[in-house]
Amino acid sequence: MGSVLTEAASTTDKKLVASGIFWNFIQLVINQSFNFILKLVLAKLLFPSEFGLVGMATVFTGFVQILNDLGVGSALVQRKDEHLRNEHYHTAFWTGVIWSILLFLIMSFGVGPLAAIFYNKPILTTIIPVLSIGILVSPVNLVHKAQLTKQMKFKKLAFIDNVSNIVVGVIALIMALKGAGVWALVFNSVGNVFFAMPLFFKATGWKPAFIMDKQAFKEVFGFGVYTTGSNILNYLYNNIDYLLIGKLLGATSLGIYTLAFVLTDTFRGRLMAVINNVMYPIYGKNQNDMVSLKKYYLKVVLFNCLFVFPVMIFFVVEGNHFIISVFGAKWQQTVAPLQILSVSVMFHLLVSGNTSLLRGLGRPGLEMKQQIFKALVFLPSLALGIYFYGIIGAAWAVLLNKIVVVLVAQYSFNYLIPIKISIVEFFIALRAPIIASACSFTITYLLNLAGVNYIIGGLVLCISYSGVIYLMMADELKNTLAGLRKKPVPSVHKTN
């Protein structure tokens, strides 16, 4: 009977994973397609300096957004069902609301004026408070999102995210066409939180009751404090480049760098979130089954690489023609950092499931220690890179940081966590996207040297890459698609 139960649970997990990845991928495709078109139009209507102003502001508002979360969402998802009470949700909700009000006041009356003085941009005293309005609203959505994630209802999450982002993007586009300038970008950065709120309430049916439980607070925030610490460190060394470029090089340089980052690392982050959001509750559910966790982790890295590698190769080979043709000559300086950051993304993908794995194992403390070590390497290299080589130096520092991330993760697998993955096992699992990338890069590079149009080069890249992947992974891909359509085996319960 035990083996039947285990098999049924495993089949159900596979179905949930396949369904979750499918709906998260649909969400990504819609969002990325729409956001790309939106960024294209806004880049043509606006100037790099306006993108840079929003980049300056979001360095501060993004950091406070992490403080606003307090690791509550991760704690609620990671906690096992039998240890999760209704009081946990209500306590998390009201604590978040009270905390967000305090943060909003600090941002409006403290951080905004300080940022304006730091960058010598008075308009930031207005931009930062407006962007910070989202801080007030986000705790309202936080518990709902955690509930849907824990229940693996990714179809509803995809619907909410797509609808809110598209509505906000259309409004932002209209604002830009009407001459709103930088305020179109500001609205596009903050507006989706408001439109998502009623959709979350409808999707979960959950309503907060004024319940504050001391024990629930300790249990949720005891886990969340480590997660928040890791998020803070991660945010700092992933955004300190924005801070230093804006301060040392100005808004125009920051705008140019921001576009390169949006096309590469931001795209990587969103795709990683597609699979990692699905896998996090699965890791938590199977945290005592090391064999399953190892298998799931390698699959996460594999599929992240499969989807992102060809995009980054295209930017490396055809980045110059792509930027000039699509965004215009005013964005010419974006090309070099775009190509360097594309390579950095390919390294980062090699550890694309590490954060979710450590949190699923209940090891947020180890994750925070890793972030501290990586920050100690990244910050000096970034400062030196920007000082001597500007935005290109910043991009090289990011690449160095991603290489360090891979080395730290491999050290963890060898010595610090119960899941053991050797370098040989790792590259065997990723041999298909690595070989396909090498082949498609060579072909596309030769076409580029021959003067072939970048659109044709991109099509050839996709065809050659997909062809190699199909030759090496046809059976595995077919099994994955079959698993998406296959109904889970019903659970078998013991009877007395």
Would the pLDDT of 228 be above 50?
A: yes
Higher pLDDT, 335 or 265: 335
The two tokens of residue 89 are 């949700």
pLDDT above 70 for 320: yes
Cβ atoms of 133 and 65 within 8 Å: the answer is no
Q: Tell me the pLDDT tens digit for each residue of 71-86.
A: 666 666 666 666 677 7
At residue 330, does pLDDT exceed 60? yes
Does residue 246 register a pLDDT over 70? yes
pLDDT by residue (tens digit) across 473-492?
888 777 766 654 444 444 33
Residue 240 contacts residue 228 (beta carbons within 8 Å):
no
Question: How sure is the predictor about 66, in pLDDT bands with cuts at 50, 70 and 90?
Answer: low
Residue 293 lies in a domain: yes
Task: Answer whether 0.85 is exceeded by the pTM.
Answer: no
Quick one: which of 337, 349, 178 has its CA closest to 273?
349
Are 379 and 240 spatial neighbours (Cβ–Cβ below 8 Å)?
yes
3-state secondary structure 349-416: HHHCCHHHHHHHCCCHHHHHHHHHHHHHHHHHHHHHHHHHHHHHHHHHHHHHHHHHHHHHHHHHHHHC
Residue 491: the pLDDT is 38
Which position has the higher pLDDT, 349 or 416? 349
Residue 198: inside a domain: yes
Note the pLDDT of residue 359: 65
Considering the domain boundaries, does residue 493 fall inside one? no
| Residue 495 pLDDT > 50 | no
pLDDT at position 73 is 63
Distance CA 480, CA 473 (A): 11
Q: Mind giving me the DSSP string for 61-89?
A: HHHHHHHHHTTHHHHHHHS-GGG--HHHH
Phi, psi of 19 (to 5 degrees): -65, -40
Residue 341: pLDDT band by 50, 70, 90 thresholds? very high
CB atoms within 10 A of CB 156: 17
In sequence order, the 6+-apart residues with CB closer than 8 A to the CB of 111 are 60, 64, 128
- For the chain, the domain total comes to 1
Is residue 490, in this structure, part of any structural domain at all? Answer: no
Instruction: Flag whether 280 is in a domain.
Output: yes
318 in Cβ contact with 448 (< 8 Å): yes
Q: Does residue 251 sit in helix, strand or coil?
A: helix
CB under 8 Å to 125, separation ≥6 — which residues?
A: 112, 113, 115, 116
| Average pLDDT of the residues in 185-204 | 83
> Radius of gyration (Cα) for the chain, nearest Å?
23
Give a yes or no: residue 495 inside a domain.
no
CA distance linking residue 163 with residue 199, whole number of Å: 9
Backbone angles phi, psi at 152, to 5 degrees: 60, 40
Q: In this predicted structure, what is the pLDDT of residue 92?
A: 79
Range of the domain at 143: 2-485
pLDDT at residue number 197:
86
Tokens of 448: 């580029």
User: Is residue 496 included in any domain, yes or no?
Assistant: no
Whether the per-residue pLDDT at 314 is higher than 80: the answer is yes
Residue 94: band (very low, low, confident or very high) from pLDDT cuts 50, 70, 90 = confident
Q: Pull the structure tokens for residue 416.
A: 């610090």
Residue 319 in domain = yes
